[in-house]
Amino acid sequence: MNSIFAKRRSRLLAMKSLRDNYVPGDKLVTCPHCGQESQRKQVAQSLSVCPKCGYHFPVGAYYRLSMVLDPGSFRELHEKYPAGDPLSFPGYREKLESCQRKTGLTEAAVTAVGAIGGRKCVVGVLDNRFLMGSMSAAVGEKITLAIEYAGKNKLPLILFCASGGARMQEGILSLMQMAKTSAALARFSEKGLLYISVLTDPTTGGVTASFASLGDIILAEPGALIGFAGPRVIQQTIGETLPEGFQRAEFQMEHGFVDAVVPRGEMRDALSRLLRLHERGGRP
């Protein structure tokens, strides 16, 4: 009986991830990093990584989930959680609706319970196609609900971060989500549970200054831009050009803020190993 549901779930995720892994371009795709052309099909098959230079193309939330979760284990949490317009900001509602139509998402965060290498866990993903993965009240709430769900069910938590920062149209309430998610993680951590944060391109602003930086383990995808202030703002502030590789995943690892840079093709194995290593939660 279980397998019927598992099949259905696996089909559902496969369908959604297909849409998410759509690599734009007719037949050939030009890599924004190396400038070389590759077959679209080839890029899609290599987990949206440029076959020539290893550049990691941005990917959608469901595709991300399908890359790491065991087939058939996916069950979405708070799928219908509504997006809101808490400050009644002019033009914002229309913007949300057009984003929802374009991406098929209700908000920038997708959270799910699933399994990696047979180990159950809660996984949240920010999707930067949805208003740059910016932190809205709904995003903060969904992440917090996922943290609480994991805490209640004693499950490890994995959050894939990608964000342009605060959701301007939600002003101060966007800012407050930083406090909310961080405080929820503190309570989660007190239970002795594992939180792995995975930083993908780009992770900036309020997300960096909250849950992205609070993982017991922090992983990053190669070349991902990770920082609090964006490079443009820093450049304006200091009036100098920034060094090559500044704020990239490798730079952050060198400066002590990332445990390991893990290519997309190895992410699933890395997560699976980490879950295994933390299985007993340190208790005998």
Partner 1 sequence: MSELTAAERVAIARHPQRPNITDYLGFLFTDFFEQQGDRLCREDGAILGGVALYHGRPVTVIGTRKGRTAEENLRCNFGMPGPEGYRKALRLMKQAEKFRRPIFTLIDTSGAYPGLEAEERGQGEAIARNLYEMSCITVPVVAVITGEGNSGGALALAVADRVLMLENSVYAVLSPEGFASILWKDAQRREEACGLMRLTAPELLSLGVIDGVIPEPEGGAHLAPQTAMAHVDLALGQALTQLDKLGSRELTTRRYQKFRKMGAAALREDP
Is position 149 an interface residue for partner 1 (rule: CB under 8 A)? no
- Which range, of 13-21, 61-69, 233-241, 262-270, touches partner 1 by CB under 8 A? 233-241
Is position 233 an interface residue for partner 1 (rule: CB under 8 A)? yes
- Which range, of 49-57, 63-71, 85-93, 268-276, touches partner 1 by CB under 8 A? 85-93
> Which of 138, 150, 217, 224 contacts partner 1 by CB under 8 A?
138
Cis ω before 202 (30° cut-off from 0)? yes
CB of 103 to partner 1, least distance (A): 19
Is position 261 an interface residue for partner 1 (rule: CB under 8 A)? no
- Closest C-alpha among 115, 197, 189, 188 to residue 163: 197
CB of 65 to partner 1, least distance (A): 23
Own/partner contacts of 86-94, CB < 8 Å, gap of 24 or more, are: 86/137, 86/170, 86/173, 87/169, 87/170, 87/171, 87/173, 89/169, 89/170, 89/171, 92/169
- Closest C-alpha among 98, 176, 91 to residue 139: 176
Question: What sign has the CA pseudo-torsion 39, 52, 253, 154?
Answer: positive
Is position 2 an interface residue for partner 1 (rule: CB under 8 A)? no
Is position 90 an interface residue for partner 1 (rule: CB under 8 A)? yes
> Which of 51, 58, 84, 222 contacts partner 1 by CB under 8 A?
84
* Six token digits for residue 250: 């490798």
What interhelical angle do 137-152 and 171-190 show, nearest 10? 10
> Which of 47, 159, 184, 220 contacts partner 1 by CB under 8 A?
184
Is position 175 an interface residue for partner 1 (rule: CB under 8 A)? yes
| Contact between 158 and 121 (Cβ < 8 Å) | yes
d(CA 69, CA 72): 8
> How many residues make contact with partner 1 (CB under 8 A)?
58
Positions touching partner 1 (CB under 8 A) are 81-87, 89-90, 137-138, 140-141, 144, 166, 168-180, 182-187, 205-206, 208-214, 226-229, 233-234, 237-238, 240, 242, 246-247, 255-257
